[in-house]
Amino acid sequence: MARKEAQKLLGQIATGKDPVAEKRAEKMRQITLNEVQQLQNDVFRDYLLLILLTGLRRQEAATLRWDQVDLNAKNLNCT
C-alpha cells in the first residue's frame, strides 16, 4: 500500500504537479478580520491583529520588544 502511494506521489511530481500544495490548498481558508476580533484570548487576538495589520512575520511579531515600538510616532522598528 505504501509503495503504491509513493508511486502515485512520484508520478504526480514527475508530471509537474505538487500533491502537497494541492492538499494544503484544499484545507486552508483565510481568517477574516471580524473572526480575529471575536477571539476570546486577548493575547492571541492582539498578536494576530499585529501580524495582519502590520505585515510582520510571525517570528518578528513574537520577538518584538517595547524599545522597538514608538506609539506616539505610530512606528515599529524591526531589525
Residue 10 above 80 pLDDT? Answer: no
Q: Is the domain of 44 the same as that of 76?
A: yes
Q: Are 18 and 44 members of one domain?
A: no
Asked whether residue 13 falls in the same domain as residue 47, the answer is no
In terms of Cα–Cα distance, which of 10, 12, 11, 32 is closest to 22? 12
Question: What digits encode the pLDDT tens for the residues 37-59?
Answer: 898 989 989 998 999 889 999 99
State whether 8 and 46 are in the same domain. no
Q: Are residues 40 and 61 in the same domain?
A: yes
| 19/45 same-domain check | no
Asked if residue 78 and residue 43 are part of one domain, the reply reads yes
Question: Alpha-carbon distance 18 to 79, whole Å?
Answer: 35
Confidence of residue 31 (pLDDT cuts 50, 70, 90): confident
Interior angle at CA 38, CA 49 and CA 51, nearest 5: 10
Range of the domain at 71: 31-79
**CA 69, CA 79: separation in Å to the nearest integer?**
12
User: Mapping DSSP to helix (H, G, I), strand (E, B) and coil, where does residue 70 land?
Assistant: strand
pLDDT digits (tens, 9 = 90+) for 61-78: 999 999 999 999 999 988
Domain count, the chain: 2
From 12-16, 23-27, 66-70, the region with the lowest mean pLDDT: 23-27
Apex 57 CA angle, 55 and 60, nearest 5: 115
pLDDT the model gives residue 25: 60
